[in-house]
Amino acid sequence: MGRKHGPCFHCKIHITPLWRNGPEDKPVLCNACGSRYRKCGSLENYLPNHFQPEYPDNLKMLKRRKTLKGGKGRYLCSPKIPTRKRSPLVRKKITPMKRFYMQLQNMWEDYGNSNESSSEEVLIFNNVNNFIPSNEIGLGCIPLKLDDASA
């Protein structure tokens, strides 16, 4: 038996570290295709990572052109159009204390909407008294550090 050499009958590659036996219709395979054939017994729906599809000559010419020209040497697509730059999305990190403060406010709003007609339960928040600090939210809690917007 003589020494095998490419190209591979499946992927058409010319260089490989090892040439392998294949089926009767594809007797010489590259290392990747031959390993796949030996393992699976078929090369259907398989293309190795090094596979380069063959393009017709007219597609190669179109790929080489960077811009298409219209009549009298004018460009259909101007190469001087700037690309749109997007500003980065800025998200503020919420501190655990701020998150707790927001949860308490949401709880108070839910509680206030559901029990407005009940006269038995009176919240401290609704009590107009000069001794209650303005930053108390009505649930007996005062945030230790206020956010910058309310200060």
Residue extents of the structural domains in the chain: 1-67, 94-151
Supply the pLDDT for residue 60: 54
Supply the pLDDT for residue 72: 53
Low-confidence stretches of the chain (pLDDT < 50) are: 1, 66-67, 151
Do 32 and 11 contact (CB within 8 A), yes or no? Answer: yes
pTM of the model: 0.34
Supply the pLDDT for residue 16: 87
Query: What CATH number is given for 1-67 in this structure?
Result: 3.30.50.10
Supply the pLDDT for residue 109: 82
Rounded Cα gap, residues 122 and 144, in angstroms: 24
Rounded Cα gap, residues 34 and 9, in angstroms: 10
CA atoms in the 13 A half-sphere facing the CB of 105: 9
Supply the pLDDT for residue 78: 55
Supply the pLDDT for residue 140: 60
- Residue 15's SS3 state is coil
Supply the pLDDT for residue 117: 54
Supply the pLDDT for residue 82: 66
